[in-house]
Structure 1
Amino acid sequence: MPLQMKLCAITLDCPDPQALAAFYQQATGLEPHPKSDADFAGLNGADGLFIGFQRVDDYRAPSWPDQSVPQQFHLDFEVDDLDEAEARLLELGAAKPDHQPDQDRWRVLTDPAGHPFCLVGR
């Protein structure tokens, strides 16, 4: 029988936890965790999911799609309108890499700390 586990938290390394938490808070509407500080910030989801951001000295952003600094993971966010979501996230500080494997189905963006993430149409 498989172990019964529920994903409860995802934590991303970054150079500035407060700034990255602010980006994702504006992008998702998740609530800031009340015990966030300069070294670790977090966001709480209504479903219990926690997204954390931890300060790492000498942080090196992933170099997607080049793997000289591997991405190791990425987040996917489901959206109603790819163009609208992309435009809003770019306004918030995301970047759009030139390499886009399938722009009609999903968009690859990077957050302000360089982590790749995808927007997927519903």
Structure 2
Amino acid sequence: MSLQMKLSAITLDCPDPLALAAFYQEATGLEPHPKSDADFAGLCGEHGLLIGFQRVDDYRAPRWPDQTVPQQFHLDFDVDDLDEAEARLLRLGAVKPDHQPNEARWRVLTDPAGHPFCVVRGD
């Protein structure tokens, strides 16, 4: 008998869980988890997947593409229009690093806590 696992949550460390959850809520339209608080906030995704945001004291944001504080992972979001998505996310508080490895296909942005994420042109 093999052990079966189902991914239930992706959790990002950050200094302010409610603020980062609000950014991703505006960006994705996902609903806030009803038990979100100042130490752990969440957004309810498809098929029960939770995106969580966990308070970490002395949080240090990843430095992309510099690896002084390396990224551990990043999120990718499919979009219909890269320019429109980028503009909207920048208005919400994302930052666009200068280094863009393939700007015609995807854009690397960082969220308000410094985590890199990508918006990818859906095909």
**In structure 1, what is the Cα distance between the partners aligned to 2:2 and 2:19?**
38
Q: Could you tell me which residue of structure 2 aligns to residue 41 of structure 1?
A: 41
- TM-score, with length taken from structure 1: 0.96
Number of aligned residue pairs: 122
| Secondary structure, aligned partner of 1:119 | strand
**In structure 1, what is the Cα distance between the partners aligned to 2:3 and 2:24?**
31
Deviation for aligned residue 1:72? 0.8
Deviation for aligned residue 1:47? 2.0
Deviation for aligned residue 1:8? 1.5
Q: Could you tell me which residue of structure 2 aligns to residue 59 of structure 1?
A: 59
**In structure 2, what is the Cα distance between the partners aligned to 1:95 and 1:47?**
29
Confirm whether residue 15 of structure 1 aligns to residue 24 of structure 2. Answer: no
**In structure 1, what is the Cα distance between the partners aligned to 2:48 and 2:73?**
21
Q: For the aligned residues, what is the CA RMSD?
A: 1.2
Structure 2 unpaired stretches of 5+? none
Q: Could you tell me which residue of structure 2 aligns to residue 78 of structure 1?
A: 78
After superposition, what is the alpha-carbon deviation per residue over 1:47-84, rounded to whole angstroms, capped at 9, x for unaligned? 21100000000000000000000001000000010000
% of aligned pairs identical? 84
Structure 1 unpaired stretches of 5+? none
Q: Could you tell me which residue of structure 2 aligns to residue 98 of structure 1?
A: 98
Q: Could you tell me which residue of structure 2 aligns to residue 50 of structure 1?
A: 50
| Secondary structure, aligned partner of 2:46 | coil
**In structure 2, what is the Cα distance between the partners aligned to 1:22 and 1:84?**
20
